[in-house]
Amino acid sequence: MLEVNHASKIFAKGTPNQKIALRNLNLSLKEGEFVTVLGSNGAGKSTLFNAICGSFILDEGSIRLDGRDITFLSEHKRARQIGRLFQDPMKGTAPNLTIEENLALSYSRNSKGLFSKAVGKKERELFREKLRTFDMGLEDRMKTKIGLLSGGQRQVVTLLMSTIVTPKLLLLDEHTAALDPATSEKVMEITNRIVKENNINTLMITHNMASALVTGNRTIMLDDGEIIFDMTEEKRKGMTVSDLMVMYSEKKQQNFDNDRILLSN
Amino acid sequence: MSVFIGSMELGLLYAIMVMGIYISFRVLNIPDLTTEGSFTFGLVISALFVTKGHPVLGLFMAIAAGAVAGIVTGFLQTKMNIHPVLAGILTMSGLYSINLWVLDGSSNLTLLGTESIYTMLRSQFEGLSRDTVELMIGAVIVLIVIVILYFFFQTELGLAIRATGDNPDMVRASSINVDTMKMIALAISNGLIALCGGLITQYQSFADVNSGVGTLVVGLASVIIGEVFFGRRSLTIGFISCVAGSVIYRYIIAIAINSQWFPAYMLKLVSSIIVALALALPVIKTKIVESKAKRRRKSC
């Protein structure tokens, strides 16, 4: 499904600020996998997402999506098959456009032609029906400007926008982190439902280790630009947060020891 | 009475330019200085075609010329990553030479005695007075432009352009090329501005390469005056408020000149002050509120 092969990226190469963001990273997703991504700040989680989305082009390595090489494809062309949500609910919607206009814009991936009416009767009906399933009353506010909605509501609309034309891959970058606990739970529940219903391959960054272990069916942890562990469903069953912490510090210690050997030689 | 009708006529014609400026300034959120060049570009192109005996074709060529100017600015902004204001200045400055070149090196051209859409339609409707015909031309063209824009901005392309000014990241995430959207919007904006120039030259039977100076500020002032009366609501109301703003602006000028509050050469200064004040208003308001609050707490 998604294949990231030997991905490397160095920012500000050759300057004192050089930062190795991705280190020969390999990741392969099977059909229908929902992977949670853990890692401390600066581990390269968002960089990995940016690489997949095409915000920059890799220094080394390749990316394939559904058998197609997308390594050098421009960002907006990749977006046809990749949906993405950010932590900031403001980022995914246009505040001065109404709910239905925002939805119509992402629905235009199914374009009927540039000069066809964006929000027709059929579209409006479809949007209303989809919004109703969220049970947030949004279906009655389709002509409200998105800027007037709360963060949680905006995030739900963004979620619908990025999945209304089913993407091959959904990238969630801590999309519930800016929301209050109750809203966050609700958004998470909707996310799970949408992903399951449409069987979308998903990568989700989170800092909540407990939820990372129970959400989806695979968990990976990144550190310093590489995947330090990768647990499929069976392996992570019965894992607790403290097990995870122990594994993490062991791995860190190992790296530290390796460095020491290297330096003492 | 003739001042009253004259201002109305000018207001309607300039409304087309104001709508063009509205698209770049309010929809795309870019102050586009190409305006000053593309207005004159449309004007001289239209004048050139009038002298060759093709006034109607001249208007369409003016639109095309303005659109090309807009695409150049858009290209500099997006593909070459030049600051939007500077990109506009570069195009405007370059167009100055091109405009002189169109007029064969002379800085002005009189169109007296040639056939324009005004002379054509005046002879077509002989029963009507000259003013009525001129007013109708302005009103009909403005109406056509509004109707086209109304439908255009409801299409998928139009929606994508509106979203580009609002949140480009989201547009990119919806698999739409943001750079192309900006270029198309600037092409439409400058096409309208050039059409306005093309009409003005036929209206006054005269072309001058310096007539674009200050048009952006005039346009912005009209946009802002319109918004004072209509508020900032939907896009269609925005376009209607542009027309109102443009007409009101002409009346303010006519009144000011007739009552001799200030000499005609002060117009550009007054326009600049109107725009500066209108843009500064939000800041001034909060400052006033803050200082009031301060004083209240000090006196306690």
Q: For residue A95, list chain B residues with Cβ-Cβ distance below 8 A.
A: 166-167
Query: For residue B49, what pLDDT is reported?
Result: 96
A97 to B162: CB separation less than 8 angstroms, yes or no: yes
Whole-angstrom distance, CA of residue A140 vs CA of residue A129: 11
Q: For residue A154, list chain B residues with Cβ-Cβ distance below 8 A.
A: none
Model confidence pLDDT, tens digit, residues A108-126 = 887 777 888 888 888 899 9
Whole-angstrom distance, CA of residue B127 vs CA of residue A54: 65
Radius of gyration of chain A (CA): 20
The residue of chain A nearest to residue B174, with distances taken between CA atoms, is A106
Q: What's the average model confidence in pLDDT over A162-185?
A: 91
The residue of chain B nearest to residue A107, with distances taken between CA atoms, is B174
Whole-angstrom distance, CA of residue A68 vs CA of residue B214: 53
CATH assignment at residue B145: 1.10.3470
User: What are the start-end ranges of the E strands in B84-238?
Assistant: 108-110, 206-208
Is residue B126 within 8 A of residue A71, CB to CB? The reply is no
**B162: Cα separation from own chain's centroid:** 18
- pLDDT higher than threshold 60 for residue A265: no
Query: For residue B129, what pLDDT is reported?
Result: 87
Evaluate the CA torsion angle B222, B228, B230, B233 in order and state its sign.
positive
Model confidence pLDDT, tens digit, residues B9-65 = 999 999 999 999 999 999 999 989 999 999 999 999 999 999 999 999 999 999 999
Low-confidence ranges of chain B (pLDDT < 50): none
Domain span including residue B52: 2-299
Q: For residue A94, list chain B residues with Cβ-Cβ distance below 8 A.
A: 162-163, 166-167, 170-171
Residue the block writes with tokens 């390269």: A44
A76 to B172: CB separation less than 8 angstroms, yes or no: yes
A114 to B156: CB separation less than 8 angstroms, yes or no: yes
| Listed residue (A253, A252, A262, A261) closest to A39, CA to CA | A252
Number of domains in chain B: 1
Query: For residue B281, what pLDDT is reported?
Result: 84
- pLDDT cut 90: percent of chain A above it: 51
- pLDDT higher than threshold 90 for residue A216: no
Query: For residue B56, what pLDDT is reported?
Result: 95
Whole-angstrom distance, CA of residue B121 vs CA of residue B126: 8
Nearest to A117 among B155, B166, B175 (CB): B155
Model confidence pLDDT, tens digit, residues A217-264 = 899 999 888 898 888 888 888 888 888 888 888 877 777 677 666 666
Helix (H) or strand (E) holding A229: strand A226-232
- pLDDT higher than threshold 90 for residue A172: yes
A102 to B176: CB separation less than 8 angstroms, yes or no: no
**B98: Cα separation from own chain's centroid:** 20
Query: For residue A108, what pLDDT is reported?
Result: 84
Number of other CB atoms surrounding residue A40 within 10 Å? 13
Q: For residue B163, list chain A residues with Cβ-Cβ distance below 8 A.
A: 94, 97, 101-102, 105
Is residue B207 within 8 A of residue B109, CB to CB? The reply is yes
Residue A6: which region, alpha, beta or left (left: phi > 0; alpha: psi -120 to 50)? left
For chain B, the average pLDDT equals 92
Is residue A155 within 8 A of residue A176, CB to CB? The reply is yes
ipTM above 0.90, yes or no: no
pTM: 0.88
- pLDDT cut 70: percent of chain A above it: 96
Model confidence pLDDT, tens digit, residues B126-143 = 888 888 999 999 999 999
| Amino acid code (one letter) for B192 | L
Q: What is the DSSP string of B4-43?
A: HHHHHHHHHHHHHHHHHHHIIIIIS----THHHHHHHHHH
Task: Return the structure tokens found at B198.
Answer: 């093309």
